[in-house]
Structures are given as C-alpha cells and as structure tokens.
Structure 1
C-alpha cells in the first residue's frame, strides 16, 4: 500500500501532480523497490478518494519519465534506477554568494558612458512598420534556417549602404552578418593558426584584447602617436594581424591621416599572410566636415577586413554587426563554417533591410548627427566653463565620445569611487590602457560619452563630475 498525503484544496499543484510527486519521491528514496508492483489504478484511486483519471495521468507521467514500467495484463512496476553518486545528505540548492547578482537602481544616475546611444529619438513606429512588412513578405524565410552569412537581400542592402557612405568596395557575398562585432571577430580568429601574432592599438578596446588573449594568441599592444598606430612597432612585434580604428581611434578619437593609412596598407603587402582588421564602430557620426573614407576603400590588395555595426546608429540591443572578408578569407570562412547557424534575429535582419531601403535609416542618422553635434558642443562648453584651466579636451569632431585630461592630485580608484557616490557613470583611461601604464603625474584622463545624457541634465552631470574630481 502507498501512503500519500494529498492537499485537495491546493491551488498550485493538481491532484495528479501530487500523486506523481509522491510516488517519484518514494522511488528515489528507495521506499519502493525495483520490480515492486504499484497498486492498480482503480485501487489507488479508491484508497486516495480521487478520480481514476488523476491516478492514470500520474502513472502515465511516471511511465514517460522512466520511473515505472508496465507489463501487459499484469500492471505497473517500479523501474530499476541508477542511484546518484556523492549526493550527501542534502542537495545544496542555494547559489554561492560570489555568483549572486545584484540589481543596481539607476533611476537617479547620469551617464557619461561611451557605450550608450540615445533611443529617445529612434523612430520606433517606422521600425515596426518595416517589421510588419517583413512578416507579410518573408514568412517562408522566417520559418527556415537562413544562410550562415545572413539573408542575401540584407547583405546586398548593407553592401550598397557602406559603398555609398563609407566607400567600401565589396560584393554582397563578402559580407558576414553576426550578433555583435566580438562574435564575428571570434569566428574570424578561430580560423587562424594560434601562431598568428597580433598587434593592436594601445590605448584600445580592452574587451577585444582580452578576447584575443583568452584565445591564446600572441597579442602586442602597440602605442599610438599623433598619426595613429606605430608602423615601426608593428614591424618590431613581427605581427601579421593588426586591429585598428582609423576613422575615430578608440578611445582617443584620433583620425588616422592618409600618410599613415598608406604606410599601413603598404605594410600589409610585404608578406603573404598579413591582414588589417578595420573596426569602423561609429564612423557614421562626423561633425563640421565630411565623413572620412574607410581604410578598406583604399585597399587594392585585398588585405583589409572591414567591420561595422548598427549598435551605435540605432539600438545597442539590436545586435547586428557585419564584416567584409577579402575573397581568399571568404573561401576559407565558408569551408570552416559551412554548418554554422546565423546568430542574428531573422526578423530584425529583414526589418533592417526595409528600414534602410525606405530611407528611414539615412534620415535617422542625419537627425542624430545634428542632435549629437549640438549635445557635444553643450557638454564641452559646460566642462570648460566648470573646470577652466584644469581641463584639456581632445576636440576631434567625430563619434559619440571625446578624450579629456583633468588636473587632479587624486588617483583613478578614488575618482571612480567618488563618481559612484555622485551616481555618475564614467570611464577612466585605466580601462583602455592595455599595458596598464595609465597614470600621469597629477593628471586624470577620461573617455567622455554624450549619447545618452539628456541635454537638460548635462550641467548637472558636469557638476557631479566636478565634485568627484574635487
């Protein structure tokens, strides 16, 4: 006989679930032995004073999960189940404290982060109309696994866009779409021999640096001068892969002049296996002058791998980035990733296609250029007015951040802690110096973003920064 206690008034578990859980526990604790026969459904239903359907449903679930088996005309029996090893007296159900996450209330915070964008002016209604058009016209594609590089029609649209805006020379076949630049770089470098020697800008993108180090590549941080990354140091490192941000160096904002671009392109041709990865992360935003053409547009030897993203121009959470591979690497990519499943959201990809095709993307970028230029000027004027001779700004009219030097006798850790107390999000140069040589005597360097800070909060943000520095 099976003794089960049922709560017939319970609102969470149905009767059959309570029967199922009770018998399962008996089996796992060894109170019901392998091969032992369970009561007939009608008998157990009468004993528990429940419907036979409840018992039958519980038995069916136990049978499906392998706790019991049935023999025709003989009934239900307990299955022989392998016992757990080293379970101890109790299973630890709580998560260790070092793995717990805490939710920070950002309600009263202001942000000078370089990683954000302003979504308050994003034309969501027009985006949703493009999304509806996608659902109406691409139901077959939405029901299938799409091409590993992304739908051809979307790659064709991106190809035309970057040809017109960035001068990129390519065919749609050369474009690989992915959920973020970092995931694309991982794919690219997974094809490379681990003997590949990599040079990258210092200061530079620390996430990329740590990714490449975690993949066990030999990564050499190379100092930048007034023209950008040093060709002599690239040569000294014996690098054959170089990562650069020539249109708006991250994080200093420097624009690589044509002389250094040609030097870098010439470097790539001296041996067969040299490549340049151009990260064009926020080149859409240029103020006062025309856009700077991409490095790839000057390349005639198929040595530049161009990468771009829609995170800065639209929404960071949209996770649509792309890279343009030279034909030789494209052939290798297709061989290496022939079974890859495209990582980006298919609906978003087709929606982006219509958003660009309808001219909405161009209008949005133009509108945001004007908006960001205005906000950038206000922020710079507020900083100069507040800090006066104690600030020097690298005033390069491009991108969504600028680089500033502050006179201060405090160290980076103290500034960062005081900024937290002021509920102000900032990023110091400590984050971007790959060799961690980031302290100059009585100078604090910040990378100041202005995308998400509301215009009417700029003065308050500057006041908070001043108090943190004081």
Structure 2
C-alpha cells in the first residue's frame, strides 16, 4: 500500500495519515483505477491501528470521490481523470513580482488626505450600539439583508442627511454600499453606455480609471475659480457630470451658488443629463455653518447624491450610500433584482443605533473642533517655516488643503525625497486626469491634517522643508 503511519503523532491524526496516504497513491498512479483496497479490518491489522481510524479515512476518501464501494465486495479505487501536465517553469512558488512586501511604517509621519484620526473615536459607545444591534435584530442578522440595505438604517441616514445636508429624499431612495467606488460602478451599469462622462480635472483618479475600464467616454474638464467649467462640459457633449461642490477634490474650492444653479440648469435641459454629487467630507466645515448640498437645490430630480462614513466614523468600515432620483431608482431595482448587499449587516445596524443615539453627531462635532485646531496649527507652521516660498489655499473645509511651494525641483524629486524623510505626502500630479500644469513653476501639494498629531506638526513641517531645501 506504500502507507507509513507515524504513531508518534497525536492519535487523532492517524485517520488523516491513512486518508492522505491512499489519496497520494491514487493521484500518483501507484493505485490503479478499480483496484480493490484492503478491508477495514485487514488494513487496520496491517498498520496496527484501530478499525475506527481506517473507517473514518475510507469515509473521507469516499466522500471526496477517490474510492467507491460495491455491496459485499468492499472498497475500490475510482477511475479519476488525470491532471493535464503543464510547465510551471520549474517551480510552483508564487512569482516574485506578485509577492507583497511588508511595509515598515515605523518613524513615518503622514500628511495624507486619505487618513483620519481614530484616536478620538468612541469605541465604547460603538460597541454598546453593536451589542444592542445583536440583541435587537437576531432574525435580520441570520438572513441576507435587502439589496439596498436594511430599511431602518436607510431611515436613519435619511433623517441625518436631511438635517445636516438638506438632502430631500425618502429612505427608499437610498442605496447602501461597501464604498463609493462600488456604488459608482453599480450606478453606471444602469446608465446608457453611450453616455459621455465629465470629470473635474484635477479630480478623483480612481473614478477616472473605473469609468474608463467600464468603456465609458470620459472627458476631464478643467476648473476655474468657481469650479467645473460649464462651457467645457457643453463642448464635450457630456450628459453625466461628477462634481465635488462642497469641497472640490483635491483643490478644496467651494462652488458658489451661481455656479451651482448654472450646473442644475444645464442638467434640466436634457432628459438624460445627471449630476453625481460626491459629498465625501462635507461634515467638516470650519468658521461658518455647513453649506447645503447641491441636491437640496435640485427641483428636477437630476442630482445623484453620494455620501460616506469613511471620514467621520472609520475608513475600514466601508459604508457609503447614494440617493437616487425616482426614475433612476426604478432602473436600479430592475437591474439589480437579485443583487446581494455587500456591506456587513451587523455594522449597518450598529451604525443605525450609533446615529439614533446621538453619538454620531456628538463625535462629528468633537472631531470638527480637533481638526480645526490641527488645520490652523499646520497652516501657521507652514507659513512660519517656508515664509514667502509657500502659498496655502486655506479653504476652511474638509480634511485637506492645497499648498503651492515655490521650487525648481521636479515632482519626481519631491516624491523620492519624501520617502527618505519618511513623510507621506501627495502632490497634484496624482490627481491630474489630463496634464494641465506642465508650464507652472513650483510644486502643488494636497496636504491632509487628519492623521498628524498636534505634537508632531512641527516635525512634519520640518521634514517637508528639508524635502524642498536639502
């Protein structure tokens, strides 16, 4: 049988050794198709093991289709299709270019626009809401939730964005998803694939890549002081426009009411025209009250509102949502009749209680204070250290701002020096969908302040200064 049993191993594994030994002999051809195997008693005696160990090993082989039985005759080797032999290049190991190398972040400081500070997050209150969700929704947690997300959660989000962002909608119009990118992909599958998409340039490169891979015609549209240019949208014959009016990504511009109305009027002129409003960090506004959403001004159901909890709760939570106009909601439901909700149901119900308990609003208010303090400190230190060599576009909103550093160095030099200084920064180069600043002098940086502690701001600025001046 070519079977060797190692009795020094835990006896619980003897049946596994029998199973693995016979399986290997079948696969390598040492045991032929329809060859009779020893009886359980005979094999047990030959290996000096219990009949029960042989029985369990045989049953596993039988369950997986390696052997079969004939009544009163015993066990036989199944006729198994042979593997097609392929040249693996002499190795079955994962190629080196596909291996993931551990990233050592020790000693690094971050001025990333993507990060948020979770050190102030009320985890105790969150866990209380999670415990309440477990006890309140046992049946719902044991089933697949509705494709748009649980109604109770959508109801909480609906009330919240009506108060904080002025969004006009019903819970039925809300679709919850595991991230804004996923929702954009779902939305665009419902659209006419001959649509021309206009994106802000500079803008969100991930949307640009996603839409291009979906084979949409995508037109980067440049900005002026008020935001995306309407004349360029018209010239591109676009019928769907993606905008970030409350805090343009990445420049930080806030779209004034005149441009908002112009954009809404443009959308109202065609039945196939829509505006996708990405309200990614609008919860954070400093010095003045929040600016109402573009959707709140929409009288013709032309705006698709997108929101996320990545900035306000936890980035890894992956809960975003979109608000669809009635006609698009009808299309969405037809297209995604059998769709399964990707988001974690327990986390959704936890979020529901987190909002309803008032903890969410309390946390956002607290973080507004912390982020405003950190933002002012970073701007002060930048101006102090760089003096006349820097211009900060200090728009009092969001979790990042734009800084223009006067320098003769290239973007590539700056990126390489940043790695040496262990400072995470992102330049405007990352967000250009079409190169529009080749003739500009200096370097534009998108500086985030959410994940750098107050006592590390001076050190972060000093590292940034060395990047440009060493």
Q: Same-fold call, TM > 0.5? A: yes
- RMSD of aligned Cα (Å): 1.3
8 Å contact kept, 1:410–1:442: no
C-alpha spacing 1:231/1:307, structure 2 compared with 1 (3 Å): same
Residue 176 of structure 2 corresponds to 177
Match of 1:35 in 2: 34
The aligned counterpart of 2:164 is 165
Q: 1:256 to 1:441 in 2, by over 3 A?
A: closer
Cα deviation, residue 90, structure 1: 9.0
Question: What's the counterpart of residue 210 of structure 1?
Answer: 209
Q: Distance in 1 between matches of 2:257 and 2:78?
A: 76
Cα-to-partner distance string for 1:167-213 (whole Å, 9 max, x where unaligned): 00011110001111110000000112221100010000001110000
Q: How many residues of Structure 1 are paired with residues of Structure 2 in the alignment?
A: 469
Distance (Å, rounded) in 2 between the aligned partners of 1:88 and 1:242? 49
Query: In 2, Cα distance between the equivalents of 1:135 and 1:141?
Result: 9
Structural mapping, 1:54-203, within 5 Å = 54-88=53-87, 92-203=91-202
SS in 1 for 2:342: coil
Shift of 1:234: 0.2
Give the superposition deviation at 1:93.
Answer: 2.6
DSSP-derived class of the 1:251 partner = coil
1 CA distance for matches of 2:276 and 2:388?
38
**CA 1:262–1:12: 2 relative to 1, 3 Å:** farther
Per the normalisation by structure 1, the TM-score is: 0.98
Cα offset, 1:79, TM superposition: 0.3
Distance 1:27 1:277 in 2: 59
Q: CA–CA distance in 2 between the matches of 1:293 and 1:336?
A: 31
Segments of 5+ residues of structure 1 without an aligned counterpart are none
Cα contact 1:130–1:355 (8 A) shared by 2: yes
Q: Does the 8 Å contact 1:283/1:399 carry over to 2?
A: yes
Q: Does 1:361 find its partner at 2:364?
A: no
TM-score w.r.t. the length of structure 2 is 0.98
- Residue 296 of structure 1 is matched in structure 2 by 295
Partner of 1:254: 253
Cα–Cα, structure 1 residues 89 and 26, in superposed 2: closer, same or farther, change >3 Å? Answer: farther
For the pair 1:444 / 2:449, whether they are aligned, the reply is no
1:122-148 Cα distance to aligned partner (Å, 9 max, x none): 000001111111111111111111111
Q: In 1, distance between residues paired with 2:141 and 2:12? A: 37
Looking at structure 2, the residues matched to 88 and 33 of structure 1 have their Cα atoms a distance apart, in angstroms, of: 25
1:394-413 maps to which residues of 2 (within 5 A)?
394-413=393-412
Check the 8 A contact 1:404/1:445 in 2, yes or no: yes
Write out per-residue CA displacement over residues 396-415 of structure 1, whole angstroms, 9 at most, x where no aligned residue. 00000000000111111111
